[in-house]
Amino acid sequence: MKLATWNINSLTVRLPQVLDWLAASPVDVLALQELKLTDDKFPHAAFQAAGYASVCFGQKTYNGVALISKSPAQDVVRNIPGFDDDLARVISGTFALSTTDASASNVAAQDSVRVVGAYFPNGQEPGSDKFEYKLAWLQGLRAWLRTELVTHPRLVLMGDFNITFDDTDVWDPEGMRDQIHCTDEERYELGALIALGLADAHRLFPQAAKSYSWWDYRDFGFKRNHGMRIDHILISQALQPLARGCWIDKAPRKNERPSDHAPVVLELA
C-alpha cells in the first residue's frame, strides 16, 4: 500500500500534472492540499476516468483539501471536530489496508488505515493574529487526534504542515532562525503531535542530506536546492512495523509551471 501527500497549489492549474503523476507513480491514497477551488468545481470525473475515487473539501481562492484513492473513502470527516473553523483545511477517510478488502462498504479498524489529510495554517509571522490562529489550530488538531487514535490505531496524518522539525529541514537554518515554519512554538506543537505516539515516516529511513519538499519560486530556489521540508507523513505506532520506505519525489518540481511543493510518498507492507 502506498500513500502520498502533495500540496498542488491550485488543482485548476495543475490537474494534468496530478493525473500524469498518478499514471507514472500509482498510489492507493493521495492527499492533496491547496485546491483553490470550490466543491462544485472539483474534477471528480477526471479522476474517475483515471481509475480513482475522490472526496473533497474545497474553498474559493484559498485552501481546500482532497483524498484521491483507488477504493472509495469510508467515514469521511471534514475539518477538525470540536474546533470552530470556517477554512477548508482537513479531510479524513478510512481505507482498506489490503486491496482484497477494498470493496467492503464497512472496513474494520484492524483491517484499515485512517488517513487524515491536512493543510496546516501558514501563520504568516510570529506574533501575528494568523500565528495565534495556527497555534490554536494545532492544539485543536492534537486534541481531536488523541481521541481518533483510540478508535483508529492505524492512523496516518499527512499533508503540508508548514513546520520544520529542526535545522536539518532548512537550507539556511541561521537565516530562518525564529522565522515562520521554524519557531520554537511551532516545533513544540509538532513535537506534541509526535508525543501522541506518531512518528515522522521520512526519518524512519536513511535519507540524503538536504532533502526538502518545498522550494520558493524566487531566486532559483529549486535549482539551488534552497528549500525546506514542511510536507510530512506521520504514522501511528501500529503502522510503524509495516513501513517499508518514505521518500520525496522531486520530479514533478521540474515540470513547467510546477507546484512549489513536491509529493511525499510512504510505502506500507
| 3-state secondary structure (DSSP) of residue 191 | helix
Task: Considering the candidates 160, 169, 212, 231, report the single residue annotated as catalytic.
Answer: 160
Nearest Cα to 151, choosing from 212, 208, 89, 109?
Answer: 109
Per-residue HEC secondary structure of 10-44 comes to: CHHHHHHHHHHHHHHCCCCEEEEECCCCCHHHCCH
**Count of helix runs (H) and strand runs (E) in the chain:** 4, 14
Nearest Cα to 71, choosing from 42, 110, 113?
Answer: 113
> Which are the contacts of 198, defined by CB distance < 8 A and separation ≥ 6?
155, 157, 234, 235, 236, 237
Active-site residue, 119 included: yes
Pairing of strands 243-248, 231-236: unpaired
Do 248 and 233 meet the contact criterion of CB atoms below 8 Å apart? no
Active-site residue, 212 included: no
Do 11 and 63 meet the contact criterion of CB atoms below 8 Å apart? no
Task: Considering the candidates 39, 40, 86, 119, report the single residue annotated as catalytic.
Answer: 119
Give catalytic residue positions: 119, 160
